[in-house]
Amino acid sequence: MKILVVDDEPTSQLIVSEIAESLGFETVCAESALRGLEILAESDISLVLCDWEMPGMDGPTMIRKLRASDHGRYVYHILVTGRNETKDLIEGLNAGADDFISKPVNPDELRVRLRSATRVIELQQSLDNRNAKLEKANKRHEEALNSVTSDLRLAADMQFALLPKEKQLAGINTNWLFKPASFLAGDIFDYFLVGDSQMVFYIIDVEGHGIPSALTSFAVNNQLNPSPQGMCRRHLRATSNVDTAVLRILEELNRQFAKPSGDNRYFTMIFGVMNLFSGQITLAQAGHPAPLHYSTREDSVVAVGNGGMPVGMFESAKFETTNIEMHPGDRLYIYSDGAIECPSTGGEFYGQSRLEHSVRNWAGIPIEKLSSILDKEFLDWNGTSQFEDDVSMVCLEYQTPLQLGANRVQSSSYNGVERRLAEQPLNTTSKDSFRQH
């Protein structure tokens, strides 16, 4: 280890240097404080023995200038002085000195001071090395976190892209709210036409949050896609009884996601099929909050369904269907439990009764404006844009029964899409290409 000896007296330099070198140190000498500062700036020396009394700049001033600069390392400073009063000791310590040694220098005392300084410097260097390693590790972790965050944002964009784009489908007006609690949501929903006279709609809420729940919601959504090979179209074509088809769809999903080991990720859902000619809805409620039916004739809001078992929880789960008769102007709201369990700033849940009251108040609002109303409603209630659970809500408004003449046009277009889909491999067809525009 090198030591810088700063003293304007050559004899004092020689004495201190010989003692230090006898202990295995290498010494560098400076005849002034200014030169000493220059040497420290140009080298990696971390130990200084500096005289107090020197012309031009004294020892305490040199120390203050040293402490005010940044050499990227800590420099241990021993002040050599003939002063021995308390006020001098205080002045030197206030200037930033680490230790003192009195003149004339005692060789044994100097050896002890240097050994003590060496231990402190080695400890400081060890801490600096560890800090450097930690900073390097933190940088790697930060880069990894930024990469993961970027990937999550991309995945969130992909999830949002899976949500329905159409706001009008064959006499049905729609609008929706989707507010994930994190980057990715365990909620997902969709609605699309099947054949000439039916519209499928569903909402899914996978237990838990984040990536595992989102992956399950992606998997379920993929099974329910509106392609010719999708589960919805297969079962609706296989039977003329809509109730039977709805039950078979939920039963098939349950077989796929319920595992004998119990190591499964279950989900609640509402799955329904609307007849576009009659306005009749057949739906199944699988452990999901009850849909709300707003009737224009009665100016009333009715919760539909009796609960049911979540999908994927038990292999033996059974499901039931419920029927709703929609009239022009009626609305059906399906939503995740994150909506009714959304806490206020005081911790109160939004609640089912409050939602029913709100649905009735929203009746006079044009459905195209409903999304912004829903967004403001829950933001104002929660007091923050960071929700504890995913909040999803879909509103379906039945306008007029589908007319046969109009349906023929729609049917021709839809069958053309269907034929193109049938010619494409399922795993290479994007979800948007499944939709009827």
Q: What is the pLDDT of residues 37-55, one digit of tens each?
A: 999 999 989 999 999 989 9
| Percent of the chain with pLDDT strictly greater than 90 | 47
What is the pLDDT at residue 426? 35
Average the pLDDT over 11-15 and give the result: 87
What is the pLDDT at residue 71? 81
What is the pLDDT at residue 402? 67
* pTM for the structure as a whole: 0.66
Average the pLDDT over 214-226 and give the result: 88
In contact, 284 and 270? CB cutoff 8 Å:
yes
Sheet holding 198-206, edge to edge: 187-194, 198-206, 267-275, 280-286, 321-325
How would you classify residue 50: left for phi > 0, otherwise alpha for psi between -120 and 50, otherwise beta? Answer: beta
Average predicted confidence (pLDDT) for the chain: 85
Our measurement of the distance from residue 22's CA atom to the centroid of its chain's CA atoms, rounded to an integer in Å, reads: 61
What is the pLDDT at residue 365? 94
Q: Quick one: DSSP state of residue 311? A: B
User: What is 163-434's CATH topology?
Assistant: Phosphatase 2c; domain 1 (3.60.40)
Average the pLDDT over 150-171 and give the result: 82
For 234-277, what is each residue's pLDDT tens digit? 999 999 899 999 999 999 999 999 877 666 679 999 999 999 99
Contacts of 281 by beta carbon, 8 Å cutoff, 6+ apart: 272, 273, 274, 275, 323, 324, 325, 326, 332
Examine the pLDDT at 34 and tell me if it is beyond 70. Answer: yes
For 372-423, what is each residue's pLDDT tens digit? 999 999 999 988 877 888 889 999 999 877 665 444 333 333 333 333 333 3
Spatial separation of the C-alpha atoms in residues 262 and 258, rounded to whole Å: 7
In contact, 39 and 71? CB cutoff 8 Å:
no
What is the pLDDT at residue 243? 96
Spatial separation of the C-alpha atoms in residues 172 and 205, rounded to whole Å: 24
For 68-89, what is each residue's pLDDT tens digit? 988 888 899 999 888 877 888 8
What is the pLDDT at residue 437? 32
For 269-319, what is each residue's pLDDT tens digit? 999 999 999 999 999 999 999 999 999 999 999 999 888 899 999 888 999
What is the pLDDT at residue 177? 92
Angle of helix 242-257 versus helix 210-223 axis, rounded to 10? 140
Report which of 293, 374, 337, 333 is spatially closest to residue 205, judged by C-alpha positions. Answer: 337
Spatial separation of the C-alpha atoms in residues 87 and 249, rounded to whole Å: 90
Contacts of 18 by beta carbon, 8 Å cutoff, 6+ apart: none
Average the pLDDT over 343-368 and give the result: 94
Average the pLDDT over 159-183 and give the result: 86
How would you classify residue 231: left for phi > 0, otherwise alpha for psi between -120 and 50, otherwise beta? Answer: alpha
| Strands of 182-246, DSSP E | 187-194, 198-206
Pairing of strands 267-275, 198-206: antiparallel
> What does the domain layout of the chain look like in residue ranges?
2-130, 163-434
Return the minimum-mean-pLDDT range out of 228-232, 360-364, 432-436: 432-436
Residue 3 belongs to what H/E stretch? strand 2-6
β-partners of residue 349 are 343
Sheet holding 391-398, edge to edge: 168-169, 172-179, 391-398, 331-335, 292-295, 300-303
Check: CATH 3.40.50.2300 for 2-130?
yes
In contact, 187 and 203? CB cutoff 8 Å:
yes
- pLDDT bin (cut points 50, 70, 90) of residue 352 is very high
